[in-house]
Amino acid sequence: MEVLSTRSGDLERAARIVKRGGIVAFPTDTVYGLGCDPHDPRALNKVLSVKGRRRKPFPILVASPKLAGRIAVMDSQAKALVSRFWPGPLTIVLKPRVRFPRSLRMRHETVALRCPRDRVTLQLIRRCGGLLTGTSANVTGRPPCTSARMVRRRLGDKIDAVVDGGRSPRRTSSTVVRVDSRGATILRKGPIRESQIRRTLSTVRVYDRSEQ
């Protein structure tokens, strides 16, 4: 595994690795993420082999809210959440406008998008063309990595490189909210609290596993 710094030249090196189909771990405004090209099925399968068993779609980090609107359907609810919480630790699940590989969507008809509040992360995403997967750097079921040292220890040579941005500012992943015609549903609790979302939207549900 190659260890890179947050300097411009190293971020460009990380972007080249992603464009060649590689996997890079990187710091975000939550925990460390695993990045690859979200349009590259082979790269996505590599991430799957690192993560292990997984049913949830891979989230996509976007360079800007405007770009998110080009690849997913943004209704008034989604726009309200974006205006209030982006950039930041909120992932929004939406209907896509463009096709993504099944290995990214995991047979779901939606995509999960987030615009992070972190200068280094945004620079890397832009160098990768504006989109980058942002699943947490961990094996499924294990706690997410919160430092480059933890990434090296737990993932080792399974990935191509890690961008060392120090310790994560948070130890939990982003809040996840699905937006559809029924309103907003909180699928995963996180840094953005339910009370904050309720102050933004009139209709908010919390996912109940008994509904499955």
Q: Which residues pair with 62 in a beta bridge?
A: 131
Confidence at residue 107, expressed as pLDDT on a 0 to 100 scale: 82
Specify the amino acid at residue 189. K
Confidence at residue 151, expressed as pLDDT on a 0 to 100 scale: 98
Confidence at residue 211, expressed as pLDDT on a 0 to 100 scale: 42
State how far the Cα of 158 lies from the Cα of 181, in Å rounded to an integer: 40
Query: What mean pLDDT do residues 69-82 have?
Result: 96
Confidence at residue 208, expressed as pLDDT on a 0 to 100 scale: 57
pLDDT tens digits, 144-199 = 999 999 999 999 999 999 999 999 988 888 999 999 988 899 999 999 999 999 99
Confidence at residue 170, expressed as pLDDT on a 0 to 100 scale: 84
pLDDT at residue 212 is higher than 70: no
Sign of CA dihedral 107, 198, 130, 157: negative
pLDDT at residue 209 is higher than 60: no
Helix locations, the chain, DSSP H:
8-19, 41-51, 65-71, 76-85, 102-105, 119-127, 148-155, 194-198
Half-sphere exposure of 116 (CA within 13 A, CB side): 31
Confidence at residue 171, expressed as pLDDT on a 0 to 100 scale: 82
pLDDT at residue 210 is higher than 50: no
pLDDT tens digits, 85-117 = 999 999 999 999 999 999 998 889 999 999 999
Residues with Cβ within 8 Å of residue 69, at least 6 apart in sequence: none
State the Cα torsion 54-2-32-165 to the nearest 10°: 180
12, 5, 3, 2: which is closest to 123 by C-alpha? 12
State how far the Cα of 51 lies from the Cα of 89, in Å rounded to an integer: 21
pLDDT tens digits, 46-67 = 999 999 877 788 999 999 999 9
Confidence at residue 68, expressed as pLDDT on a 0 to 100 scale: 97
Mean of all residue pLDDT scores within the chain: 94
State how far the Cα of 158 lies from the Cα of 161, in Å rounded to an integer: 9
